[in-house]
Amino acid sequence: MLAIVMMTSTIIFAQHAKSSHKGHTDRFEKMKTDLALTDAQYASIKSIDQKYVNKRAALKSDSAQTREAKGTAFKTMRAQEENEITAVLTPEQKTKWDKLKTEHGEKRKEHFQKISEQREAKLKSTLGLSDDQSQKMKTAHQQFMEKFSALRKSDTKDKAAFEKLKADHEAAIKSILTPEQFQKWNTMRADMRKKHGHEHGHMQKG
């Protein structure tokens, strides 16, 4: 839904998908170095990770469960894995690991903020937006993201609510842009969906 509604968001997801596997592997190498893990600790953590990799793969292929149920299960698995990994660490290592995770979170936030700014600049340039239009587009995007996140976290998971949010967002964008700009925005969005789908297909084959 998000990739369909916000064409520029697919840039972030595509970049994240390409780097996620490498980042996942590097995480444990960094732990070993930064926390001075023993060989036994490192082996235990890798074993825990592999166990949850298998669990997530099994859950992903389980067609009996709904998407919402899978999302909840994935979150539970992440928390369980983190707890098991933390149990392998000494108190000193745990304190340092918590600090490193906080710093990593701040860096990720800065990274995505930079991507967001680049996205806004590209959109402004490509569509020929005025400063006022650019600010309104930014506000519309932020409002959409907040409402989208709230819907995903809600218990209802009402598909009609998501469709209405999509329609309301497109109406808001249409009211900001000129007819020519709106047409170009739709074309850009379609191109990004096509590109994202092509890249996703290649990653699955790889």
205 touches 198 (CB < 8 A): no
In whole angstroms, give the CA distance from residue 154 to residue 115.
28
140 touches 171 (CB < 8 A): no
Question: What are the DSSP calls for 16-83, one per residue?
Answer: HHHHHHHHHHHHHHHHHHHTT--HHHHHHHHHHHHHHHHHHHHHHT-TTS-HHHHHHHHHHHHHHHHH
196 touches 10 (CB < 8 A): yes
Give pLDDT, residue 25.
58
Q: Which residues of 47-74 are buried (b: 16+ CB within 10 A; e: fewer)?
A: ebbeebeeebeeeeeeeeeeeeeeeebe
- Per residue in 129-182, pLDDT tens? 999 999 999 899 889 988 888 887 776 567 788 889 989 999 999 999 999 999
The pTM assigned to this predicted structure is: 0.55
User: What is the residue whose two structure tokens read 């700014």?
Assistant: 117
Highest mean pLDDT among 66-70, 78-82, 114-118: 78-82
Give pLDDT, residue 157.
61
- Give the distance, in angstroms, between the CA of residue 165 and the centroid of all CA atoms in the same chain: 19
Give pLDDT, residue 72.
86
In whole angstroms, give the CA distance from residue 43 to residue 37.
10
**pLDDT exceeds 60 at position 8:** no
Give pLDDT, residue 24.
58
Q: Where are the domains of the chain?
A: 21-89, 117-206
**pLDDT exceeds 80 at position 4:** no
Give pLDDT, residue 93.
94
